[in-house]
Amino acid sequence: MKRLFILSAFVVGLLLSSIATASNFPTEEPVGGEPFGYSTTNIGDGLYVFRWWVYRNIFLVTDEGVIVTDPINPKVANQLLSEIRKITDKPVKYVVYSHNHHDHISGGKVFKDQGATFIAHKNVLKELGDHPSPVTPLPDITFEDEYTVQLGGRTLELKYFGPNHGESLVVMRLPKEKILFIVDIVTPRRVAFRTMPDFWPDEWIRSLKEIEQMDFDYVISGHGPETQPAIDPASVVEEQRVYLEDLMAAVKKAMDSGSHNPDVLRKTVKLPKYENWQYYKEWLPMNIERIWAYYHMGW
C-alpha cells in the first residue's frame, strides 16, 4: 500500500494549500466572512479531511471499512456520508467522538443507522446522557485513559489528557503516519475562541505540553477556514501553547501593576506578536477577560 508523505514536495503542497477532491460551493450566506461550503481533501493512504464551514473531521478508509470522526451535525453528516460513498462502498464501522460538544458530534445518527459502533471517552456517556438528543447516539465503547481502534490493518490511537476543554476531549493519533487530529485546543494561527467557553486555561497549557511530548510530525485541527491548509506541521501545538502563556503573562502583569478592571484590561493589554493571527482584533479582548476571571475569580 502506498505510504503517506513519501515525497517532500507533496508534503509542502499539503502544507501550503488544501487539495480538494470535492467541489467547494456556498450553500448559505457567508457568516463572518466564512462561506458555508464543504471540501474533502485526500491526505493520502486512505486518510481524508472533510471540511464544512470552519469545522473539520477526518475519516480513514481501510480494506475492511471506514473509521469516521466527529460527524458535526445531521445535515453535514449526510454530506459526509455522500463524500465517503464517492470513495468507497465499504461500511462505516466506527465513529469516534472527540468530545461531548454538540457542534462537533450531533450528526451521529446518520452513521448509527448504517450500523456503526461509536467510541468516546467515558465522560461523554454521562454528558450526553444528561443532555440526550435523538440525533446524537450514546457511545457503545468508552475508555478512561487510552484506547486503540484497529481496522483493516490501520490503527487510530485515542488519548485522554484530563480536563482542558471540557472533561472528555481526546486527541487522536495515526501512529504510522505520525499525524494528530486535535479538536478545539489547537487551531493554528488563531487566538483562542471568544471567551474560551468550557476551557481551563492552566489545564489547557498543561495538556499542550504533554501533547508536545508525543511522537508526531503533523497536525490536523478540528477548526480552520477554507483558506487554511488541511494539515500543518507539529510546531502549531507549541505555537498555541506559547500564545496562551503569553496571554496569561500579559494579563497577570497588568493586574499585578494594579489594573483589576476587566473593561480597562480589554483595552490596554496588547499582544502585537499575534496581530496577524485570525480574529486578533475581535477576540483578543474576550480572551483577556477570560484570563482576568481566572486570576480574579479562580475559574
Q: Cα 139 from chain centroid?
A: 19
| Count of other CB atoms within 10 angstroms of residue 297 | 7
Q: Is 70 left (phi over 0), alpha (psi -120 to 50) or beta?
A: left
Are 41 and 59 within 8 A, CB to CB? Answer: no
Q: Is 163 left (phi over 0), alpha (psi -120 to 50) or beta?
A: beta
The secondary structure element, H or E, covering residue 111 is helix 109-112
Grid coordinates representing 32? 463572518
Give all domains of the chain, ordered by start, each with its CATH number.
8-234 (3.60.15.10)
Are 265 and 255 within 8 A, CB to CB? Answer: yes
Query: What is the distance between the terminal CA atoms of the chain, rounded to a whole angstrom?
Result: 49
Predicted pLDDT of residue 35: 58
User: If we measure between CA atoms, which residue out of 216, 211, 96 comes closest to residue 150?
Assistant: 96
Grid coordinates representing 287? 480572551
Residue 299 or 44, more confident? 44
Are 180 and 218 within 8 A, CB to CB? Answer: yes
Are 39 and 52 within 8 A, CB to CB? Answer: no
101: helix, coil or strand? coil
Among 96-105, 225-234, 280-289, whose mean pLDDT is lowest? 225-234
In this prediction, residues 215-223 reach a mean pLDDT of: 98
In this prediction, residues 93-106 reach a mean pLDDT of: 97
Grid coordinates representing 68? 469516521
Q: What order of strands is seen across the sheet that includes strand 170-174? A: 146-151, 154-160, 170-174, 179-182, 218-221, 232-233
Are 250 and 294 within 8 A, CB to CB? Answer: no
Length of the chain: 299
Backbone angles phi, psi at 55, to 5 degrees: -100, 145
Mean pLDDT score across all residues of the chain: 90
Alpha-carbon torsion, ordered 229, 234, 235, 241, to 10 deg? 100
Predicted pLDDT of residue 227: 87
Q: Are strands 92-96 and 117-121 parallel, antiparallel or unpaired?
A: parallel
Tell me the whole-structure pTM to 2 decimals: 0.89
166-190 tens-digit pLDDT: 999 999 999 999 999 999 999 999 9
Give percent above pLDDT 90 in the chain: 85
Grid coordinates representing 206? 498543561
